[in-house]
Amino acid sequence: MARHSCCAKQKLRKGLWSPEEDEKLYNYITRFGVGCWSSVPKLAGLQRCGKSCRLRWINYLRPDLKRGMFSQEEEDLIIHLHKILGNRWAQIASQLPGRTDNEIKNFWNSCLKKKLMKQGIDPQTHQPIISQSQNFGSNNNNNNNNYYEQQQFKTPTITQTIFQEVPENNTTSPLKTHLPFAVSYQSLLRDIINPNQYLQTSMSVSELPSLENLERENCGILSSECFSQSIMFSAESKECSTSSSNTVINNNSSINSNSNNIAAFPWENSDDHSKYELGFFEQAGNYGMIKIEGSSSWGEEQLKSISLSDDLTAAADDGSFDVFLQHM
DNA sequence: AAATAGCGCAACCGCGCGATA
DNA sequence: ATATCGCGCGGTTGCGCTATT
């Protein structure tokens, strides 16, 4: 059943907002806060629908908006996040403080897409456009303007693991309850690494780091300077064959595209890979930690302590997944 | 100077989802 | 169990500015 437009039923204003309307909305929200948007227009004295008010506030009036040109760091981050998340603008925007999903979407469509295409990169797949890249020919080979060439040292690379095979009688697996996280990490790797390579990957446990807990208050969003930790992952797929090659993502070469170590995690429900949480890597003592920005899909208890070693130790026994944290 | 093409951006639209009656 | 409502999201549209002819 087609729904009527929220503005069509009543005689509500549409189009550009006047300064007076902005003022009314701004004054109302700053005074009473964001609550039920459908009641905002009436209470603020506006001839608009709630949806329109919400959009105007989020995209324009919010005081924490950054505005202005995107920095090179922001640009790199958007490209990297888009590679992982696709057109999930809201998720991408959540990692760029002061930027809105609409702003990023517009920036992508008007600038970044063209920039990548100019460099012979398909903006949807982030893979080189083979036929076109040949056409770009000598220009492309000789210049260093290609984002992926510039970022070469930062893009995910897969090398042979240094880890040993797990002894058959390994019984270390204290935390089965964290399995959902392990499943998430497994999915993370599948999405970030070349999927085919992932499925051929088997892994082993050589060492299980001691467990460390982080307090909830330490799990907030961190400044970019914090994320220079080197983290090594090693993954095993249940459905894989008996291949014994191991995989390491070395975060020195890195999952991320700039100084923020950011990774995407499919939601806890491992069947649904269409929704992601974004997490940060950080060093904690001798071990790396993953910190997840809190949101609805992560319970308070889960946020209190998300330790790679905990979660993945749990998965080790299950035979599905392991992560190793590199000592610095 | 006028016409028009191109571009960036703000805002709208329709859909899906979760909450609630 | 179903209908309705509100919200959030991604896609799309169209306005206004600037560059080009």
Domain layout of chain A by residue ranges: 10-63, 67-128
Say what the pLDDT of residue A66 is. 81
For the A10-63 domain, the top CATH level (class) is mainly alpha
- Residues near chain B (nucleic strand), Cβ < 7 A? A 2-3, 5-8, 13-17, 48, 51-52, 55-56, 59-60, 102-103, 105-107, 109-111
Q: How far is the CA of A222 from the C1' of C17 (A)?
A: 39
Q: Do the domains at A10-63 and A67-128 have one common CATH topology?
A: yes
Query: Nearest nt (C1') to A67 (CA)?
Result: B9
Say what the pLDDT of residue A146 is. 53
Cβ atoms A205, A166 nearer than 8 A: yes
This prediction has a pTM of 0.54
Q: How far is the CA of A163 from the C1' of B6 (A)?
A: 56
Say what the pLDDT of residue A37 is. 87
Q: How far is the CA of A105 from the C1' of C7 (A)?
A: 20
Say what the pLDDT of residue A67 is. 77
Q: Which tokens go with A89?
A: 């603008």
Cα A204 to Cα A157, A160, A241, A288, A296: the distances in Å are 19, 12, 14, 19, 33
Query: Nearest nt (C1') to A85 (CA)?
Result: C10
Q: How far is the CA of A16 from the C1' of B9 (A)?
A: 12
Pick the CATH number of A67-128 from 2.40.50.500, 3.30.479.30, 3.40.50.1220, 1.10.10.60: 1.10.10.60
Low pLDDT (below 50) residues in chain A: 1-5, 132-145, 149, 151-328
CB neighbour burial string for A259-297, b if at least 16 within 10 angstroms, e if fewer: bbbbbbbbbbeeeeeeebbbbbbbbbeebbbbbbbbeee
For A263, phi then psi, to 5°, come to -140, 160
Question: What's the alpha-carbon Rg for chain A, to the nearest Å?
Answer: 23
Say what the pLDDT of residue A176 is. 26
In chain A, residues 256 through 295 whose Cβ sits under 7 angstroms from any atom of nucleic acid strand C: none
**Which residues are CB-neighbours of A290 under 8 A, at least 6 positions away?**
A263, A279, A280, A281, A282, A306, A308
Could you check: is the Cβ of residue A16 within 7 Å of any atom of nucleic acid strand C? yes
Q: How many CB atoms lie within 10 A of CB A76?
A: 20
Residue A131, judged by CB atoms within 10 A of its CB (0-12, 13-18, 19+), counts as exposed
For A324, phi then psi, to 5°, come to -120, 140
Say what the pLDDT of residue A286 is. 31
Tell me if residue A159 falls in helix, strand or coil. strand
Could you check: is the Cβ of residue A87 within 7 Å of any atom of nucleic acid strand C? yes
Say what the pLDDT of residue A131 is. 56
